[in-house]
Amino acid sequence: MKDTKRRIELFSLYDHTNIEKHLEKMAAKGWLIEEIGKTFWRYKRIEQQKLKFSVVYYPKKVNEGILVSEDRQNFIDMCSAGGWDFVISSDKMHVFCSENENTPPIETDALIQIECIHKFAKHEIIGNYLSLALACILIIASFGYAVWNEPINAITNYLYRAWFSPFFIIFSLYNIISYLVWHKKAMIAAKQGEFSKTKRLIKIEVLFWVPIYACSALLESFTLLRARYVLFAIGLIATAVMLLYLFRFIKKAFANAKMKEETKRIIKDFTALFLFIVYVAVGISAFQIMPKPYEKIEVEKSYGTDVSYVYHDEGAPLNIEEFIQTDKRISKEKFCDNAILVEQEKWTQFTVEEKDIYLRYEITDIHYTPLYERCKNELITENKIYDFTETQIKGLAGYEAYQSSRLDSFAFCHDGRIVQIDFDWEPTDEQIATAAEKLMNADI
Amino acid sequence: MPRTKFQTLTEQMFYILMCLKNECCGTDIMEKIQQITDGRVAVGPGTLYNLLEQFVDEDIICETRVEGRRRSYILTEKGKNILETEYNRIRTQAEDYRRLFGEEEK
């Protein structure tokens, strides 16, 4: 029989009223708190019993030197003399229990209780959440700075890391304000000698956490991968939810069955293991079945290591064969950066064996007009590597055209789209015009 | 803790200080208060512990002995004055009450 168990508990640590109630329920089910972590709490098995709990906040730190721990022990001794058995400490929070329902409370002065909670909360609630909010503000500020200077790089690479920052700021402020409002009311009540119950914030916390994790995962998939992987991720999440419901259903079905607790536990564990294996198998199978957008071209050893290139069978908007006659195998690598405001598709094409003919191009679509000029600056005007200057291409009209002073590279922009092409040879005006027309009108 | 806090004492503070007329340790204080007030006033261990700390910080009481983890305290001169001031305040209140209601009863 399992003697310990861990649970995710989302209590605010100052929420002594609900923590006490929760611990009483757990004791009635035969579990006594053994360790309080940030999210996971560990319980040890005890006989099912009715225990009364008291959560108190002793503002001196516990783990700092012998004197302090002696001080804490002195505190525990006094509580013990008052009929309370020490259960556990977590930093400045201490949990006591009593078998006697009529044991006088540990705190008999409401004002002193509030003062102790406030000393604890100043660090644990206000301090921590303010730090979180400030960190998020810094993330947003640095993201804003990056968007201003290198909008494409910032949006395609860092958006998924920054987007949830406002939610964390709201979440932090919500916790701080909720605590301060409670503290103000509790102080008024305490001055009248009344004790105040704390309010549980868990449901709203869950409302914050679940979508943040889910959306982060999805947004990351969108940003880094392509749509088929997003569908794969959604499929996996949906399967996980279905299997969890199935597990709950089976667990409930056996909960009321007339059989030994040990047998029920074994069935529960085996069901969990079986469903987990099913989940992994479904995931692996789906990944195998999922059509791959490319085939790998294996190449002989190069400097002692195997090198493999890929051939994307998704139609490239422009192919090297349109300019050069060749029988050699060609590697066509595609890389996508799809963010909410900016989409980018990059292609690199070259002959596999000799790698002597290259064609590279990237198509960038900016869906948010105010960013267009900034993106143009990043890719063209302020691009020091290519050093583009405006030019005219014979037979090409309607687009702004730029030519690099150093390489056979050209850039074109018009109506929210920016295209950059690198040729590995000196192209004719006709070739440039053909490439520009195709890429400026390509679907990505 | 602001000094003004102890200008008037709560009932629990008053009884704790009263118990410390003679040297006494924390656990004994809780029992003594129960005895003196016949169970009417109970001071919880958390409240007592915090108040003892605050009283020591304010020189209202001082630590006299430490035997293992058992600490004993006694009232200081300042503590005696505070207790006496509080007693006088309560007595004045009682006299005012008696003067008013006592005369009415007559």
The C-alpha of B77 sits at a distance from chain A's nearest C-alpha, in angstroms, of 25
Q: Which ranges of A3-62 does DSSP label H, i.e. alpha helix?
A: 16-29
Is A100's pLDDT higher than 80? yes
Among A54-63, A92-101, B38-47, the minimum mean pLDDT is found in A54-63
Confidence bin at A160 (pLDDT 50/70/90): low
Tell me the CB-side half-sphere exposure of residue A26, using CA atoms within 13 A.
22
Residues of A in contact with B71 (CB under 8 A): 74
- For testing contact with chain B, the best of A16, A77, A85, A97 (most B CBs within 10 A): A77
Beta partners for residue B66, in sequence order: B71
- What mean pLDDT, rounded, does chain A reach? 83
3-state secondary structure of A333: strand
Cβ-defined contact of B43 to A108 (cutoff 8 Å): yes
* Cα–Cα dist A147/A348, whole Å: 26
- Could you say which of A78, A111, A113 has the minimum Cβ distance to residue B27? A78
| Lookup: tokens for A438 | 């195709």
Looking at chain A, the whole-number percentage of residues with pLDDT higher than 70 is 84
- Could you say which of A81, A105, A112 has the minimum Cβ distance to residue B50? A112
Residues 6+ apart with CB under 8 A from A56: A16, A79, A93, A94, A96, A106, A107, A113, A116, B46
| Angle at A121 (CA atoms; ends A115, A124), nearest 5 degrees | 150
Report B:41-80 residues touching A (Cβ under 8 A). Answer: 42-51, 69-71
- The answer to whether A73 and B66 have CB atoms below 8 angstroms apart is no
Cβ-defined contact of A74 to B69 (cutoff 8 Å): yes
Among A20-29, A349-358, A373-382, the minimum mean pLDDT is found in A349-358
* Cα–Cα dist A433/A430, whole Å: 5
- Could you say which of B27, B42, B70 has the minimum Cβ distance to residue A104? B42
Residues found in chain A: 444
| Lookup: tokens for A113 | 């209780």
Q: What is residue A39's predicted lDDT score, i.e. its pLDDT? A: 74
Is A335's pLDDT higher than 90? no
Among A272-281, A288-297, A336-345, A382-391, the minimum mean pLDDT is found in A288-297
- The answer to whether A74 and B71 have CB atoms below 8 angstroms apart is yes
Is A241's pLDDT higher than 50? yes
Cβ-defined contact of A78 to B45 (cutoff 8 Å): yes
Q: What is residue B106's predicted lDDT score, i.e. its pLDDT? A: 54
Q: What is residue B3's predicted lDDT score, i.e. its pLDDT? A: 43
* Cα–Cα dist A1/A440, whole Å: 68
- The answer to whether A396 and A430 have CB atoms below 8 angstroms apart is no
The phi, psi pair for A112, rounded to 5°, reads -65, -40
- The answer to whether A402 and A380 have CB atoms below 8 angstroms apart is yes
Does residue B37 belong to the interface with chain A, where contact is any CB pair within 8 Å? no
Cβ-defined contact of B27 to A58 (cutoff 8 Å): no
Confidence bin at A217 (pLDDT 50/70/90): low
Q: Which ranges of chain B does DSSP label H, i.e. alpha helix?
A: 11-19, 26-36, 45-57, 77-97, 103-105
Beta-carbon count within 10 A of A166 CB: 13
Is A227's pLDDT higher than 60? no
Is A73's pLDDT higher than 90? no
Q: What is residue A200's predicted lDDT score, i.e. its pLDDT? A: 74
- For testing contact with chain B, the best of A53, A60, A109 (most B CBs within 10 A): A109
pLDDT of A172-203, one tens digit each? 898 899 999 999 999 999 988 899 888 876 55
Residues of B in contact with A82 (CB under 8 A): 30, 44-45
Q: What is residue A226's predicted lDDT score, i.e. its pLDDT? A: 54
Cβ-defined contact of B44 to A82 (cutoff 8 Å): yes
Strands (E), A200-324: 294-302, 305-312
Q: Which residue of A has its CA nearest to B70?
A: A74
Is A364's pLDDT higher than 80? yes
- Could you say which of B10, B26, B46 has the minimum Cβ distance to residue A106? B46
Confidence bin at A439 (pLDDT 50/70/90): very high
3-state secondary structure of B40: coil
- Could you say which of A56, A70, A105 has the minimum Cβ distance to residue B69? A70
Among A317-331, A397-411, A414-428, the minimum mean pLDDT is found in A317-331
Among A21-25, A120-124, B44-48, B68-72, the minimum mean pLDDT is found in B68-72
Cβ-defined contact of A109 to B10 (cutoff 8 Å): yes
| Angle at A259 (CA atoms; ends A257, A262), nearest 5 degrees | 120
Is B59's pLDDT higher than 80? yes
Q: Which residue of A has its CA nearest to B29?
A: A78
Task: Report how many Cβ contacts below 8 Å link chain A to chain B.
Answer: 62
Is residue A320 packed enough to be buried (19+ CB in 10 Å), middle (13-18) or exposed (0-12)? buried
Confidence bin at B51 (pLDDT 50/70/90): very high
Nearest Cα residue to B90 out of B10, B2, B6: B10
Is residue A218 packed enough to be buried (19+ CB in 10 Å), middle (13-18) or exposed (0-12)? middle
Burial A16-27 (b: 16+ CB within 10 A, else e): bebbbebbeebb
Q: What is residue B4's predicted lDDT score, i.e. its pLDDT? A: 63
Is A89's pLDDT higher than 70? yes
Interface of A with B (CB under 8 A): 56, 58, 70, 73-75, 77-79, 81-82, 84, 104-109, 111-113, 115-116
Nearest Cα residue to A414 out of A402, A400, A395: A400
- Could you say which of B12, B26, B71 has the minimum Cβ distance to residue A108? B12
Give me the amino acid identity at B73: Y
Confidence bin at A74 (pLDDT 50/70/90): confident
3-state secondary structure of A100: coil
Is residue A298 packed enough to be buried (19+ CB in 10 Å), middle (13-18) or exposed (0-12)? exposed
pLDDT of A33-56, one tens digit each? 999 887 789 999 999 999 999 999
- What mean pLDDT, rounded, does chain B reach? 88
Q: Which residue has the tokens 């099913």?
A: A278
* Cα–Cα dist A226/A284, whole Å: 18
Residues 6+ apart with CB under 8 A from A264: A254, A255, A257
Residues of B in contact with A69 (CB under 8 A): none
Torsion of CA A286, A336, A331, A304, to 10 degrees: -80
Q: Which residue of A has its CA nearest to B44?
A: A106
Q: What is residue A206's predicted lDDT score, i.e. its pLDDT? A: 58
- The answer to whether B60 and B79 have CB atoms below 8 angstroms apart is yes
Cβ-defined contact of B48 to A78 (cutoff 8 Å): yes
The C-alpha of A109 sits at a distance from chain B's nearest C-alpha, in angstroms, of 6
pLDDT of A291-305, one tens digit each? 666 666 666 655 666
Confidence bin at B1 (pLDDT 50/70/90): very low
pTM of the model: 0.69
Residues of B in contact with A56 (CB under 8 A): 46
Confidence bin at A65 (pLDDT 50/70/90): very low
- Could you say which of B26, B47, B69 has the minimum Cβ distance to residue A108? B47
The stretch A79-93 carries a mean pLDDT of: 89
The C-alpha of B46 sits at a distance from chain A's nearest C-alpha, in angstroms, of 5
Does residue B33 belong to the interface with chain A, where contact is any CB pair within 8 Å? no
Is A126's pLDDT higher than 70? yes
* Cα–Cα dist A192/A186, whole Å: 10
- The answer to whether B23 and B29 have CB atoms below 8 angstroms apart is no
Nearest Cα residue to B65 out of B17, B15, B24: B24
Cβ-defined contact of A106 to B47 (cutoff 8 Å): yes
| Angle at A406 (CA atoms; ends A403, A407), nearest 5 degrees | 70
| Lookup: tokens for A221 | 């998939």
Q: Which residue has the tokens 């503070």?
A: B13
Cβ-defined contact of A58 to B46 (cutoff 8 Å): yes
* Cα–Cα dist A314/A227, whole Å: 13
Higher pLDDT among residues A137 and A216, named by residue: A137
pLDDT of A242-291, one tens digit each? 888 898 888 888 877 778 777 888 888 888 899 999 999 988 888 777 76
Looking at chain A, the whole-number percentage of residues with pLDDT higher than 90 is 28
